Amino acid sequence: MNEVLKTISKRRSIRKFEENQISDQELQAILDAGLQAPSGHNDQSWFFSVLQDKKLIKELSDGSKAEMQKIPVPWIADLGKSENLNIYYKAPTVIIVAAKKGAVSPLPDVCAAIQNILLAATSLGIGSCWIGFAKFYFTTPERNIKIGIPEDYEVHYAVSLGYIPAKQKSNPPARKYEKYYHIIK
Ligand SMILES: Cc1cc2nc3c(=O)[nH]c(=O)nc-3n(C[C@H](O)[C@H](O)[C@H](O)COP(=O)(O)O)c2cc1C
């Protein structure tokens, strides 16, 4: 297997992180990988706000949880009430991912960028997790402005990033290969 295929197979969501910060060079390489993603109409509609301020990340997690409690879906509301949950898993780096409103395909664009980010992180031995719960916090323009999201952009997801604690390194949930595809010749 070549290195790309190995990295794709190795990537798994990591939900526990070392406290020490990833290096600026690693962060840059990960962001560059995001920017290499394909995008509809080549709109490159993504915007990344990188947060490395613990207090701010906790504030956004608490804010998301407060909003989640109001959602009429029991499992989401229950998670919002869970005292121990930090939706970013206390990662030292969180990338909030927004997309330009009115782009041809903002959601596919940011998903492609996020997958590149996850794979780049994996290739560097950095743990990552795609965070859907991030979006709940961003209910007002002030909240977007607070983290420097341009006015005409909408937050969709986030990615938590950090070094992986040694004992977490191998726990890959398997895939059910036979269930998800067939080949017609
Ligand atoms: C759109 C999307 C949103 C997700 N949101 C969350 C999230 O908020 N919290 C979380 O822990 N994992 C989240 N995940 C990660 C999935 O739970 C994870 O990819 C799935 O369980 C498969 O595990 P794996 O990534 O280790 O292969 C999300 C994944 C996707 C694609």
Q: Is 129 in the pocket of ligand 1 (CB under 6 A)?
A: yes
Q: What is the structure's pLDDT at 180? A: 82
Q: What is the structure's pLDDT at 142? A: 97
Q: What is the structure's pLDDT at 183? A: 87
How many whole angstroms from 130 Cα to the centroid of ligand 1?
5
Quick one: 21 exposed, middle or buried, by C-beta within 10 A (0-12, 13-18, 19+)?
A: middle
Q: What is the structure's pLDDT at 171? A: 63
How many whole angstroms from 105 Cα to the centroid of ligand 1?
21
Q: What is the structure's pLDDT at 157? A: 98
Q: Which two tokens stand for residue 46?
A: 């993504």
3-state secondary structure of 40: helix
Radius of gyration of the chain (CA): 17
pTM of the model: 0.96
Atom 1 of ligand 1 has which residue's CA nearest to it?
A: 132
- φ and ψ at residue 81, rounded to 5 degrees: -85, -10
Atom 15 of ligand 1 has which residue's CA nearest to it?
A: 130
Q: Is 15 in the pocket of ligand 1 (CB under 6 A)?
A: yes
Q: What is the structure's pLDDT at 167? A: 77
Architecture of the 39-165 domain: 3-Layer(aba) Sandwich (3.40)
Q: What is the structure's pLDDT at 137? A: 98
Q: Which two tokens stand for residue 25?
A: 């060079």
Q: Is 13 in the pocket of ligand 1 (CB under 6 A)?
A: yes
* C-alpha to C-alpha distances, 43 to 36, 167, 176, nearest whole angstrom: 12, 41, 35
Q: Is 103 in the pocket of ligand 1 (CB under 6 A)?
A: no
Q: What is the structure's pLDDT at 60? A: 98
Atom 20 of ligand 1 has which residue's CA nearest to it?
A: 13
- Rounded CA separation 163/30 (Å): 13
Q: What is the structure's pLDDT at 170? A: 57
- φ and ψ at residue 84, rounded to 5 degrees: -80, -15
Q: Which two tokens stand for residue 133?
A: 């719960």
User: Do residues 45 and 125 make contact, with C-beta atoms less than 8 angstroms apart?
Assistant: no
CA angle 30, 31, 32 (to 5 degrees): 90
Q: Is 10 in the pocket of ligand 1 (CB under 6 A)?
A: no
Q: What is the structure's pLDDT at 121? A: 98
In single-letter form, the type of residue at position 101 comes to K
Residues pairing with 47 in the sheet: 98
How many whole angstroms from 185 Cα to the centroid of ligand 1?
33
pLDDT of the chain along its 185 residues, tens only? 899 999 999 999 999 999 999 999 999 999 999 999 999 999 999 999 999 999 999 999 999 999 999 999 999 999 999 999 999 999 999 999 999 999 999 999 999 999 999 999 999 999 999 999 999 999 999 999 999 999 999 999 999 999 999 876 556 677 777 778 888 99
Among the listed residues 1, 3, 22, the one whose alpha carbon sits nearest the alpha carbon of residue 162: 22
- Rounded CA separation 145/136 (Å): 15
